[in-house]
Amino acid sequence: MLDAVGEVPRERFVPPDRRAEASRDRPVRIGQDQTTSQPSLVAMMCAALELRGTERVLEIGTGLGYQAAVLSHLAAEVCTVERHAELAEAARRNLDAVGIDNVTVVAGDGTRGLPDHAPFDAVIIAAAAPGIPPAITEQIVRGGRLVAPVSQRGVEQVLVYTRDPDGLTEQRRLTAARFVPLVTGSD
């Protein structure tokens, strides 16, 4: 897990004028009023997916592509969706520039999941909502995992779920953290 974080040059996944901030374990602003989480939180969330390297993973909220780059080293294939077309475009360029070729970036509304690419063995949501959009749950294979920040009384709790025949079962709480909101619709 830490190897995957070590393999990704974070400064390539923040705006050029913020590269100096990339070496610190702190969130960094990435434009469009969005932020990229600190690497320790990305590592903790990716680790909670318990990937073995063979999975197809969906990420909701690409930003500039940092977490997708980390996941690309842990899974066989990553699909990631970003509602801001400009961020999606920049993420695609960032991933290409470091030679990552197992990530598909889609511009659109991730609250619908990505039906054309489903099903997924694991899903990670990088923006907070009061609940998990049902379309996403439906696109996870039985036994698959979901990690997502869920807003509860003004605080975001990062929760780990498994997909069961009836829907999602909450397994554990990873941590509390601040996240940008999951917004329905796309630019």
Closest distance between ligand SAH and the C-beta of residue 73, in Å?
13
- Residue 182 as a binder of ligand SAH (CB under 6 A): the answer is yes
Closest distance between ligand SAH and the C-beta of residue 123, in Å?
12
Please give the helix or strand (H or E) that residue 142 lies within, else none.
Answer: strand 140-152
Would you mind telling me the total number of residues written for the chain in this entry?
A: 187
What single letter denotes the amino acid at residue 30? I
Say which residue the tokens 């605080």 belong to: 155
By CB under 6 A, how many residues form the interface with ligand SAH? 24
CA distances, 128 to each of 8, 42, 95, 155, 183 (Å): 24, 14, 24, 10, 9
Span of 44-52, 77-85, 94-102, 161-169 interacting with ligand SAH by CB under 6 A = 77-85
- Residue 72 as a binder of ligand SAH (CB under 6 A): the answer is no
As separate numbers, helices (DSSP H) first and strands (DSSP E) second, the chain gives: 5, 9
Closest distance between ligand SAH and the C-beta of residue 5, in Å?
11
- Residue 105 as a binder of ligand SAH (CB under 6 A): the answer is no
Which pair of structure tokens corresponds to residue 160? Answer: 């780990």
CA separation for the pair 44, 186 (Å, rounded): 28
Select 34 or 139, whichever has its Cβ closest to ligand SAH: 34
Which pair of structure tokens corresponds to residue 47? Answer: 């680790």
- Residue 127 as a binder of ligand SAH (CB under 6 A): the answer is yes
Closest distance between ligand SAH and the C-beta of residue 25, in Å?
14
Annotated catalytic residues are: 37
Residue ranges in contact with ligand SAH by CB under 6 A: 34-36, 60-64, 66-67, 81-84, 87, 109-111, 126-127, 180, 182-184
